[in-house]
Structure 1
Amino acid sequence: MSQENQPKIVEAFTDGGCRGNPGVGGWGVLLRYGAVEKRFYGAEAHTTNNRMELMAAIMALEKLTRPCTVRLTTDSKYVQQGITEWIHDWIRVNWLRKSRPIMNVDLWQRLHAAAQRHHVEWCWVRGHQGHRENDIADALANQAMDEFLQSSTQH
């Protein structure tokens, strides 16, 4: 198959972080389709690092307006292993562990639903190791936290 006839892949690079855990958190997403890149970010007042990592992956998939083949790269083993390994058991036991909902069940269910619309390859990269796109996603998450903290001190 020639290069022109191969289906294009949307590449998504995600990161989340928190200042304090729990504390102010932010998530960042870099989406790339061919030569086009788009960046998204957001923040929450009282959250955890894991919730922000999940939110980044959710937002990456929810920003896509039609079903796609997606290569999603995260520096979170929690997200990568959760969505590829642990989720099958969580669904089987109705999202419970020891009669209580698993941690962050709302976001895991949302991520699972978002992933169902696409064909997703879940990739992991070590964070803070000079990976260009991961560094951009990290910078976006930090920008979100900075802007959130700046706006909350101005009121």
Structure 2
Amino acid sequence: MKAHYTMTSQVTLYTDGACSGNPGPGGWACVLLYNELRRRISGYEQYTTNNKMELTGVIKGLESLTRPMPVLIITDSQYVKNGFTEKWLENWQKNGWKTKSGKPVKNIELWMQLSLLQRKHHLSWQWVKGHSGNEYNDMCDELARNAIIKKNGIDEKF
């Protein structure tokens, strides 16, 4: 039976990124939870940074949704969470994609993608301490690290 998404339903999206060296080979991962549905997705980049992988995990998770949804994003990345909750993204856009000090925003192309996705979905954010025993955050961490080792990602229900 195909799932029916409504605006009263919420997806929980766990994300993580990893890098072997910074910069270096990287992996990203996300786990999506919706009612009884469970999906995990990961991917690999040959040369990247940890922050790019953290952002990519969120982007890929949101892009996998087939219609607008309320989404609770749970991440261990203060960088990603604060981009939204501390209004960094909003301020960068107002300042022509410049930081307070007038420098270009790092990872601008990824932040722009997230800005577009934010308009499609209703996002809320929660930070979780990494490597703290949170089942799905730990799963994302393992998936991201495995993507680096295998130089390949996955997309599967579990």
**Same fold judged by TM-score > 0.5?**
yes
Q: CA RMSD in A?
A: 1.4
Taking the aligned partners of 2:143 and 2:41, their CA distance within structure 1 comes to: 7
Aligned to 2:61: 60
Taking the aligned partners of 2:65 and 2:143, their CA distance within structure 1 comes to: 18
For the pair 1:19 / 2:20, whether they are aligned, the reply is: yes
User: What residue identity is the alignment partner of 1:94?
Assistant: G
- Between the aligned residues of both structures, percent identity stands at 43
Q: Hey, which bits of structure 1, 4+ residues long, moved more than 4 A?
A: none
For the pair 1:124 / 2:137, whether they are aligned, the reply is: no
* CA distances 1:23-62 after superposition (whole Å, capped 9, x unpaired): 0000001001011100100010110000000000111111
**Correspondence 1:106-117 to 2 at 5 A:** 106-117=109-120
Aligned to 1:91: 93
Residue in structure 1 matching 2:107, options 93, 104, 107:
104
Shift of 1:99: 4.7
Gaps of 5+ in 1: 1-5, 150-155
More helix by share: 1
For the pair 1:145 / 2:148, whether they are aligned, the reply is: yes
Gaps of 5+ in 2: 1-6, 153-158
Aligned to 1:48: 49
- State how many pairs are aligned: 144
Taking the aligned partners of 1:56 and 1:83, their CA distance within structure 2 comes to: 15
Taking the aligned partners of 1:122 and 1:111, their CA distance within structure 2 comes to: 13
Shift of 1:143: 1.4
TM-score between both structures, scaled by the size of structure 1: 0.88
Taking the aligned partners of 1:84 and 1:62, their CA distance within structure 2 comes to: 20
User: What residue identity is the alignment partner of 1:130?
Assistant: G
Taking the aligned partners of 2:115 and 2:44, their CA distance within structure 1 comes to: 21
Q: Does the 8 Å CA contact 1:83/1:112 hold for their aligned counterparts?
A: no
